[in-house]
Amino acid sequence: MRADSYDPRGCPDIHVEHYDLDLVYKLAGNRLSATAVLRVTALTNLQQLELDLTGLTVKKVSVGGARLLRYAHRGGRLQLRLAAEVPEGATFEVTVRYDGHPVPVPSPWGTVGWEELTDGALVASQPTGASSWFPCNDRPADRSTYRTSVTTDNGYHVLAHGTLVARRARAATTTWVYAERHPTAAYLATVQIGRYVALPLGDSPVPQHALVPATLRRPASRLLARHGEMMRTLTEMFGPYPFTAYTLVFTEDELEIPVEAQGISVFGANHVVPTDGDERLVPHELAHQWFGNSVSVTTWQHIWLNEGFACYAEWLWSPHAGGRATDAMARHWHTVLARAPQDLVLSDPGPANIFDDRIYKRGALTLHALRLTVGDQVFFDLVRDWTARYRYRSVTTADFRALAHEHAELRGGEALADAVGALLGAWLDQPRLPALPRR
Ligand SMILES: [Zn+2]
């Protein structure tokens, strides 16, 4: 089994086509009992596979379409050994019954995953927290469809990614069923449970809502007063919005940072009344729906493609929100970065540094430098082609270089293509911060 230093988890030998998750969650005591059915395709001839499942107890494992010899669950890894080798391309079904008290998974970047709130629960899994609540192939490149059924106490709103397809109330509990037809990485799968009310924010090009505790209704309405316009502006710049809806969740608890999920962003109560320019986080999280969620990274090595674009979206929205011009934002952050240590290589930052703030800011500066070099028309055509060509697909930095080269050559010939190649080389592959081209 191959291990990638950026993605030590998951199992590169399988692709999970579909997750069918049946979760029963008792808020009192944070108790989860669940059944997960995974439709798995073998990517190579295999007799053994591993799934990630952390901190929960496996009760039973069965396999349909192949014979299970034995399984073992230790160190957050569920290892299955089949009685005979299954050929590459074969599909089989793995059913796991499990329960326990889900808690966030420790990672080099802090704890991530399922988290009990004061009065509810959330899932914020980036990058390796998905295994805190379901057995999964926790690799960003493995993307699957989902059916997520959550049964929990009455009086709570349950949101999962995808579309609500059923809701059945009983005496004390309600079951909420969501279907996700877009290919979704495990870290972007989510469940949000709280006493939320829904605020409609706009319906073009897709319905947008905020889920907020009733006490935050008024400040959230103020913060998100122009959300519909933000959605339309980003859609013009980035191309069609990739999913069928967008929901912002504001938890009653404070959260350190907001985080994206498929079609959803999760903020804390502290982000409703922004301080220190924190309102930039709203366009940042929205931009992840294109960059990260639809166009996904193959491994975390390429995370600048997610965070660079999301940070650049903050600067693109800034003048629309009455803030500084995009170019002024870029020059400000260039000055800040010029004073920071220059020992980070964007195209290969090392696993420990994937959430270093310089990835975000230098990533956005790389895009701005490219835009100043090729001009607005070529740049935004390139961005829209990027989100169209790689919609629901996984990418690497090499894919971006190739597309930038293609657009530059088409519109400016070999000279512009060479200039773009040299520019991206300096910004992406060298630790020293290049000068920002003149306007
Ligand atoms: Zn981000």
> How many A from CA of 306 to the centre of ligand 1?
7
Whole-number Å distance, alpha carbon 112 to ligand 1 midpoint, is: 15
- Structure-token match 């106490």, residue found: 153
User: What pLDDT is stored for residue 2 in this prediction?
Assistant: 38
Backbone angles phi, psi at 243, to 5 degrees: -125, 180
Provide the token pair at 239. 């191309």
Superfamily of domain 1-110+121-190 in the CATH hierarchy: tricorn interacting facor f3 domain (2.60.40.1730)
Q: Tell the CATH topology of 297-429.
A: Neutral Protease; domain 2 (1.10.390)
Describe the crossing of helices 357-374 and 326-339 by its angle, rounded to 10 degrees: 130
| CA 307 to ligand 1 centroid distance, Å | 5
Upper half-sphere CA count for residue 365 (Cβ side, 13 Å): 27
How many whole angstroms from 258 Cα to the centroid of ligand 1? 8
User: What is the number of other CB atoms lying within 10 angstroms of the CB of residue 354?
Assistant: 21
Rounded to the nearest whole angstrom, what is the distance from the C-alpha of residue 124 to the centroid of ligand 1? Answer: 12
> Tens digits of per-residue pLDDT, 91-115?
999 999 999 999 999 988 889 999 9
**Residues of each domain in the chain carrying CATH 1.10.390.10:** 195-289, 297-429
Task: Specify the domain boundaries for CATH 2.60.40.1730 within the chain.
Answer: 1-110+121-190
- The amino acid present at 81, given as its one-letter code, is R
Q: Which fold has domain 195-289?
A: Neutral Protease; domain 2 (1.10.390)
Beta carbons within 10 angstroms of residue 341's beta carbon: 8
Question: How does pLDDT run across 41-88, given as a tens digit for each residue?
Answer: 999 999 999 999 999 999 999 999 999 999 999 999 999 999 999 999
101 annotated as belonging to a binding site for a ligand: no
307 is in an annotated binding site: yes
CA distances from 207 to 94, 228, 280 (A): 35, 9, 21
What pLDDT score does 278 carry?
78
Q: How far is the CA of 158 from the centre of ligand 1 (A)?
A: 24
Q: Any idea which residues carry the catalytic annotation? A: 285, 360
Report, as ranges of residue numbers, the positions in the chain whose pLDDT lies below 50. 1-3
- b/e string for 355-367 if b means 16 or more Cβ within 10 A? bbebbbbbbbbbb
Tell me the residue type at 240: P
Amino acid letter, residue 247: T
Q: What is the token pair recorded at 58?
A: 């496996």
Distances (CA, A) of 169 to 120, 150, 174, 263: 18, 12, 4, 25
> Which region holds residue 22: left if phi is over 0, alpha if psi is between -120 and 50, else beta?
beta
SS (H, E, C) 116-175: EECCEEEEECCCCCHHHCCCECCCCCCEEEEEEEEEEECCCEEEECCEEEEEEECCCEEE
What secondary structure, in 3-state letters, does 54-99 show? CCCEEEEEEEECCCEEEEEEECCEEEEEEEEEECCCCEEEEEEEEE
